[in-house]
């Protein structure tokens, strides 16, 4: 199993900073690594923060062991004031733990209250449900979350990416790893950048 540590890149599109939050086990590998790689390639400064300042063990398709990712630290001491956007990757085990984490709930709520971009993919929108950020919003997710999001007051759409700017903060959601390219591009556009012609692909 490969252990990867990411490198910082130059800042562009007004020095945007992006926070990616995850638990330490069960995150879908590509949903963590590909947005980080794409945002880095666009010039953003990306911080990956986990529940604990320990390695993140990812999974592939919720089953096979994936890469081990070294986070930049724990998110317990972080504030939305330091960032322009937050990204919530999926993975069933990761998202199920993250949705009940009061610190993660506080963080995404801070981003929403400040009018900053909140992005979640696959099972990641579970955290939005438990944080009370779904009512009145258009969004998508892994199909099995449709009832959860609808019951929380959202309007679920079966699209590769849904961008909803109408509810006080930009909300970007996608369904699954196959949607990572439009998902990452939408985050970059939300922050005022221009997506490149090619999206870096990581993992297998």
Q: Which two tokens stand for residue 126?
A: 């579970």
- pLDDT given for residue 13 in this prediction: 61
Taking Cα atoms as reference points, which of 203, 41, 16, 25 lies closest to residue 119?
16
- pLDDT given for residue 97 in this prediction: 97
The separation between CA 11 and the C-alpha centre of its own chain, rounded to angstroms, equals: 20
Q: What confidence tens digit (pLDDT) does each residue in 40-77 have?
A: 999 899 999 999 999 999 999 999 999 999 999 999 98
- pLDDT given for residue 15 in this prediction: 73
DSSP percent split of the chain into helix, strand, coil, nearest 5: 35, 25, 40
161, 168, 176 from 171: Cα distances, Å:
10, 9, 16
Whether the model clears a pTM of 0.75, i.e. scores above it, the answer is yes
- pLDDT given for residue 5 in this prediction: 41
Domains of the chain: 3-190 (3.40.50.880)
Query: Are residues 99 and 108 in contact, defined by beta-carbon separation less than 8 angstroms?
Result: no
3-state secondary structure at position 194: coil
Set 116, 123, 137, 176: catalytic member: 123
Name the burial class of residue 189, with classes exposed (0-12), middle (13-18) and buried (19+) by CB atoms within 10 angstroms of its CB: middle
Residue-wise burial string across 73-100, b where 16 or more C-beta atoms lie within 10 A, e elsewhere: ebbeebebeebbbbbbbbbbbbbebbbe
Q: Residue 122 above 70 pLDDT?
A: yes
The number of residues in the chain equals 204
Q: Across the beta sheet with 85-88, what order do the strands follow? A: 73-74, 45-50, 17-22, 85-88, 117-121, 171-174, 161-164
In percent, the amount of the chain with pLDDT more than 90 equals 83
Let me know if 40 is a catalytic residue: no
Q: What confidence tens digit (pLDDT) does each residue in 148-189 have?
A: 999 999 999 999 999 999 999 999 999 999 999 999 999 999
């Amino acid at each position: 199993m490969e252990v990867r540590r990411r490198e910082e890149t130059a800042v562009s599109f007004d020095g945007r900073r992006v926070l990616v939050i995850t638990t330490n086990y069960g995150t879908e590998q590509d949903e963590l690594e590909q947005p980080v790689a794409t945002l880095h390639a666009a010039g953003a400064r990306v911080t990956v923060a986990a529940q604990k300042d320990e390695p993140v063990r990812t999974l592939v398709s919720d089953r096979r062991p994936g890469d081990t990712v070294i986070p930049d630290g724990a998110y317990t001491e972080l504030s939305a004031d330091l960032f322009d956007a937050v990204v919530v990757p999926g993975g069933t085990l990761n998202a199920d733990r993250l949705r009940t984490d009061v610190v993660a709930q506080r963080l995404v709520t801070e981003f929403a209250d400040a009018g900053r971009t909140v992005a979640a993919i696959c099972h990641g929108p579970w955290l939005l449900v438990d944080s009370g950020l779904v009512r009145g919003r258009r969004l998508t997710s892994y199909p099995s979350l449709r009832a959860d999001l609808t019951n929380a007051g959202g309007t679920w759409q079966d699209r590769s990416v849904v961008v909803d700017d109408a509810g006080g903060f930009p909300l970007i959601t996608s369904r699954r790893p196959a949607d990572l390219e439009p998902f990452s591009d939408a985050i970059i556009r939300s922050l005022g950048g221009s997506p490149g012609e090619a999206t870096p692909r990581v993992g297998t």
